[in-house]
Structure 1
Amino acid sequence: MFSQTVEYALRATVHLADCAPEARTTEQIARVTQVPAPYLAKVLQGLKRAGIVRSQRGIGGGITLAKRPEELTILEVVSAVDPIRRIRTCPLGLASHGEHLCPLHRRLDNALASVEEAFQKTTLAEVLADPNPSIPLCDFPGARGGPRVATEVETS
C-alpha cells in the first residue's frame, strides 16, 4: 500500500527522532535503517525540501529533525515524500459517477481517510514510546533496548 520511499522516509525519521537532538550523517542513517545510501540521500532531500529535516555541512554537521519528535506526525513524513492519494472523482472516468463515488470507490476512499487520520494523530515520539517489545529498527548494534556490540574499551 505504501511505497518503498515512504518506508525509507519513516525509517530515517524514526531513527532521527530516537537520536534527537543529535545529528547523524547519511551514511550512519543508511547503516542503521538498512536503506541504500544513494536512495536515502534522495529521500532525505525530499524531507529537507518539505521542512521535515535540516542538514548542516562540515565538522559536527549532519542531519537532524526540523521539529521535535513530539510535534512531527507520521502523516507529515508520508506527505513529504509520497502523499496519500484520496479518491475524489471516479478513477474510471465515468461521467455518470463524477464526484459521486460508487460504493466500492467510496469504501476505498473511506479506508484511505482512516489511514490519513491515524497518521495525523500519531507522532514519531509516540511510535518510539510504544511499550511493544519490538522496538522500531531494532536489531542494529547500539539500538535502544536492542543487542549491543561490545566496544574495544569494554572488552579490555
Structure 2
Amino acid sequence: MISQTSEYALRAMIHLAHHSGQARTTQQIAEATKVPSGYLSKVLQSLARGGLVNSQRGLGGGFTLARDEAGITILDVIKTVDSPLARIESCPLGLSSHTSLCALHRKLDEAIAWVENSFGSTTIADLVGNADIEPLCEAPPVDVTVTARQRND
C-alpha cells in the first residue's frame, strides 16, 4: 500500500515523537527503527526539506520534529517523501467506451479515497499516544541463527 520509503519515514517520525525535544542522530534513529542508515539519511533530508523535521549539525546536533506531532499526519509524511496516493480518475485500460469508471475501478478508487482520508486524519501523536505496546521498530533483535543440524532436519 505504501512504499518502503514512506514506511521508513513514518518509523523515523514516530521515533522522533517518542524522543520529543531531544536531538537524535541518524545512527540513533537507524538503530532504533531498523532502517539502513544510508537510506535513512536521504529520507531524513527529504523530511527536513519538507519542513517536518529540523536538522542541526555539530556536537549535540541531530534531528527533531519541526512542529508538534499532533499537527503532522501520516499523509503529510507520505506526501513529503513520496508521491501522493494515486487515485483512479479514468479507465486504467484506456477503453474509450468507458466514459466513467466501471464498478471495479470505482470501488478501488473509493478504497484509495478511504485510505487517503484515514491517513489524512491520523496524526503522529495518535500513533504514539495510542500505543499499548512498543512499536515493532523498538523491539529487540530476534536471533534467527540456524545451526547445521537444524538445516538438516
Range into which the TM-score falls when normalised by the shorter chain: 0.7 to 0.9
Between Structure 1 and Structure 2, how many residues are aligned? 139
The 1-side partners of 2:7 and 2:56 are apart by 24
Deviations 1:15-57 (A, max 9, x none): 0111111111111100000000011011112212211111111
Q: Greater helix percent: which structure? A: 2
Q: Which runs of 5 or more structure 2 residues have no equivalent in the other structure? A: 142-153
1:56 aligns with 2:56: yes
Amino acid of the structure 2 residue aligned with 1:127: L
> In the superposition, relative to structure 1, how do residues 67 and 140 fare at CA in structure 2: closer, same or farther (>3 Å)?
farther
Q: Is the 8 A contact 1:75 1:120 kept in 2?
A: yes
2:16 corresponds to: 16
User: C-alpha offsets along residues 95-144 of structure 1, whole Å, 9 cap, x if unaligned?
Assistant: 2225x211111111111111111111111111111153x22233149xxx
What is the percent sequence identity of the aligned residues?
55
Contact 1:73 1:119 in 2 (8 A): yes
Paired residue secondary structure (1:75): helix
Contiguous gaps of at least 5 residues in structure 1: 142-156
Q: Normalising by structure 2, report the TM-score.
A: 0.84
Local SS of the residue matching 1:54: strand
What RMSD over aligned residues (CA atoms) do the two structures have, in Å?
A: 1.6
1:135 maps to 2:134? yes
